[in-house]
Chain A
Amino acid sequence: MNSVIETRFLTKIFNQKTIAVNDLFLTVPENSIYGFLGPNGAGKTTTIKLILGLIRPSAGFVRIFGTLMGMDSSDVRRRIGYLPTQPKFPNTMTPITYLDFIGKVFGLPRQVRIPRITELIRSVDLLPLSSSEIKRFSTGEITRVAMAACLINDPELLVLDEPTLGLDPIGRASTVKLITELGNREGKTVFVSSHILADIERFCTHVGIINSGKLIFDGTITEVKKLIRTNSVELQVEGETGSFISEVKAIPHITNVQSFKHGIKIGIDPQHYSETLLDIFRVLTEKNLELISLSLGSESLEEAFLDLLEEEKSHGFLRAISRKA
Chain B
Amino acid sequence: MDSYEQSQGKRSIGHFLEKNVFLVLFIHEVRSGFKNPLQKGWIAGILFLGSLFTLGSRNLEAVSALLVLFIFFGSVVTLVLSSSSISGEIDEIADSLLSKSVKRWEYVLSKFTSHVVIVVTVYVMVVLLQVGILWRLHFLPESLDYGNLSFFIMIVGLVLVFFSSVGVLFSSLFSRTVLSLLAGFIVWFLLVFLFLATGWNFMYSPVEIFEHFLPILEGSWDVEYWKILLFYTGSSCISCFVSLLWFYQRDL
Contact = CB atoms under 8 A, between A and B. Distances in A.
Are A and B physically bound partners?
A: yes
Interface of A: 14, 49, 52, 54-56, 71-72, 74-75, 77-78, 80, 82, 84, 87-90, 92, 101-102, 104-110, 149, 153
A322 to B, nearest CB: 32
Contacts of A54: 95, 98-99, 251-252
Chain B, interface residues (CB within 8 Å), range? 20 to 34
Contacts of B28: 101
A45 to B, nearest CB: 10
A55 B252 contact: yes
Given A88-B93, A105-B25, A107-B18, A75 B252 contact: no
A210 B249 CA distance: 27
B136 interface: no
Nearest to A14: B251
Contact of B32 (A77, A90, A104, A107): A90
B96 A104 contact: no
B71 to A, nearest CB: 30
Interface of B: 14-15, 18-19, 21, 24-25, 28, 32, 35, 91-93, 95-105, 248-249, 251-252
Contacts of A74: 21, 100-103
A105 to B, nearest CB: 5
Given A92-B32, A105-B21, A105-B24, A84 B101 contact: no
Contacts of A92: 32, 35
12 contacts: A54-B95, A74-B101, A84-B95, A84-B99, A89-B93, A89-B96, A102-B100, A105-B21, A106-B101, A107-B19, A107-B101, A109-B15
Contacts of A90: 32, 93
A71 B119 CA distance: 30
Given A55-B251, A72-B103, A105-B101, 13 more contacts: A14-B251, A54-B98, A54-B252, A74-B21, A84-B99, A88-B91, A102-B100, A104-B24, A107-B101, A108-B18, A109-B15, A109-B19, A153-B100
A104 B251 contact: no
